[in-house]
Chains A and B, each alone.
Chain A
Amino acid sequence: MLVVYMTLGYPDNERYLEFMEEAVKNGADILEIGIPPKYAKYDGPVIRKSYEKVAGKFDLWSFLPETRKVIGGTKAIALTYLEDWVQELDDFLCKLKRAGLDGVLFPDLLIDFVDDYQTYSTRVREKGLNNVIFTAPSVPDKMILQVSRQSDLFLYYGVRPTTGIPLPITVSSLVTRVRNLVDNKLVVGFGLSDENDLRKALKAGADGAAIGTAFIQAIDNGGVKQAIDLVIKLRSVLDEF
């Protein structure tokens, strides 16, 4: 399962849509669309800068539906921090649904809203959206077991504390620790663009990978084409398993 992340409207509306369309054609199973937050708590410098670059460049609710037009029936989930929307959550979820999104992933749900995470999950589902739950090695085993059964589409497991920074970890140990606890598709993310790391994660039992920062860097370095080449390469690594 290849989960492709891109910041909404990055680097501009036209190239963003081109990337999304081509990503689907070249093997992305699920798209994650980053909605610029006030505070990207668990994002590294690359994604944070991408948010700054697009901030204020589009009207969220009129631009989001454009994605649906170019990606056809592929599942697309919004990625944004619950903190920003918690006061107007039902309204936010309704608008996401109307904009053609299939679900939502709140990275801070289990961290900053842990006592009420089930209530929030229910509210997401009541609006007809999938609720993809974000976990990490700092989530205790019992809770990983529990939420893995409640997460829709797959369970997200961020192996590093921040996106995009190649902090030293043993990815195989981290995946092995939770593999038997996860009663769902296990998708690993956070700094996994390195092919060796990715292979180790898949060998240890991951069902897929979520990649983001590497596509933004590829767009910055060589445009949409280079980013799509990376989609093709990562797809082929996943297809080895």
Chain B
Amino acid sequence: MVVVGVYDTPMVNNAEEILPKYWYNIIPDLPKPLPPPRDPLGAEFSRIDLLRTILPKEVLRQQLTIERYIKIPEEVRERYLAIGRPTPLLRARRLEEYLGTPAKIYFKYEGATPTGSHKINTALPQAYFAREEGIEHVVTETGAGQWGTATALSATMYGMKSTVFMVKVSYEQKPMRKSIMQLYGGEVYPSPTDLTEFGKKVRKENPNHPGSLGIAMSEAIEYALDHHLKYLVGSVLDVVILHQSVIGQETIAQLDELGEEPDVLIGCVGGGSNFGGFSFPFIGNGRGKKYIAVASAEIPKFSTGEYKYDFPDSAGLLPLVKMITMGNSYVPPPIYAGGLRYHGAAPSLSLLMKEGIVGWREYNENQIFEAAQMFMRTQGIVPAPESSHAIRAVIEEALEAKRANRKEVIVFNLSGHGLLDLPNYDSMMKRVTSNEQR
């Protein structure tokens, strides 16, 4: 393999073969039963029944018809190819050299898609299914804007309108993301808004509320119900992780081509979809030895969250799911710029963590800022702040391998680029510098 510049193996010549024909669902291969979604005790309405109104029918069918492999519709595969799937599997050779580690470091670069993150992998099929059902307008929420961008592009690709409720603090900090969504044809509102009863209620209690993903989610669902639109879901639910399994399956095929056997697999966790999409095909097929989910120390769901039934959204419009959660009314610290703000982790991931199959780390803003800089200066790619959490864990694993002189293979998912997150890095730079001066 020729090494040129910062990338190794950048081109994919056999894209058709590497892009999977099926999505993979880990549920039949989990060590224990996945607790099902359920209605709360004494509920005045059935959230499970409400799903039929909220979600495109085929999305709900895929959520409930649990099979190990589900065929990817040919039209969706074509779209995947058109947006550049399979994404590259690259070797971070300069980072290895900089760290002086005997470990090999590979990363799956999901930032290569037009929207700059993995989120498009589920936005596309959901939009496709919605369009097939004759739906003309979809609604969703977004935090950092990656999911909103993926939804806006996918909706437009299938000739639908999109409305996005964006967490207010991000809306203000990230005007570029809003611009992209609008350029793709999306309508963007800073949540909490006055467009929904729930948004009004939150604003009445605190007019300066910075918003949260849970609140934006509730607003999007309420808005969809009020206007007879469909809601697209960006993370947490099994169907999303099912769609994201293209990431891990491609990675396995690409590693096989290189003749590499992975030891450690690392990904960051907001709701858990990029981590699940990346690692579940490995876990389910017994590939790899160690799996590390990385979250933020500022939103410490792994170290302080509880494994229990909780609502995915703040208003409690979705069914209860069993997950590691900080509570559905959790509001993240507004000053923090590192992403991964969601209050829970997907039920399947939560179960794997509880069973000790997936380990975890949490890093603070300073730690991920350092990692991002090290990655930029060695590999050249500006990582999303979310993905910098994974990079930090990769660096620590690589240094541990150096101390133990282990020639292991570390593979991580670089879930997105950070070119639209420069205000976040700016803000981190200022705060990290001022912390150092103190």
Contact = CB atoms under 8 A, between A and B. Distances in A.
B372 to A, nearest CB: 38
Interface stretch (B23-31, B207-215, B219-227, B297-305): B23-31
A87 B409 CA distance: 50
Contacts of A45: 46, 49
Q: How large is the interface on A (under 10, 10 to 19, 20 to 34, 35 or more residues)?
A: 20 to 34
B65 A161 contact: no
A162 B64 contact: no
A42 B46 contact: no
B4 interface: no
Interface in B17-36: 27-36
Contact of B48 (A167, A173, A177): A167
B66 A174 contact: yes
Interface stretch (B37-45, B79-87, B198-206, B400-408): B37-45
Contacts of A138: 27, 33-36, 66
Contact of B64 (A38, A42, A111, A160): A160
B94 interface: no
Interface in B48-63: 48-49, 51-52, 57-58, 60-61
A141 interface: yes
Contact of B49 (A41, A42, A112, A165): A165
A137 B27 contact: yes
Interface residues of B, number: 29
Contacts of A39: 41
Contacts of A169: 61, 64-65
A110 B60 contact: no
B132 interface: no
Nearest to A117: B33
A51 B178 CA distance: 50
The residue among B29, B38, B58 with the most chain A CB atoms within 10 A of its own CB is: B38
Nearest to A38: B41
Nearest to B55: A168
Contacts of B68: 141, 177
B67 interface: yes
A140 B30 contact: yes
Looking at chain A's contact residues, is the secondary structure mostly helix, strand, loop, or mixed?
A: loop
A137 B48 contact: no
B65 A140 contact: no
A161 B38 contact: yes
Contact of B33 (A139, A160, A168, A170): A139
A38 B61 CA distance: 30
A136 interface: yes
B60 A140 contact: no
Interface string B297-325: 00000000000000000000001000000
Interface of A: 38-39, 41-42, 44-45, 110-112, 114, 135-141, 143, 160-162, 165-170, 173-174, 177
Given A161-B64, A162-B38, A174-B65, 20 more contacts: A42-B36, A44-B39, A45-B46, A111-B36, A114-B33, A136-B36, A138-B36, A138-B66, A140-B27, A140-B30, A160-B64, A161-B36, A161-B37, A161-B48, A167-B64, A168-B57, A168-B58, A169-B65, A170-B65, A177-B68
20 contacts: A38-B41, A39-B41, A42-B36, A44-B48, A45-B49, A136-B33, A137-B64, A137-B66, A138-B27, A138-B36, A140-B29, A140-B33, A143-B32, A143-B33, A161-B38, A162-B48, A165-B46, A165-B52, A174-B65, A177-B67
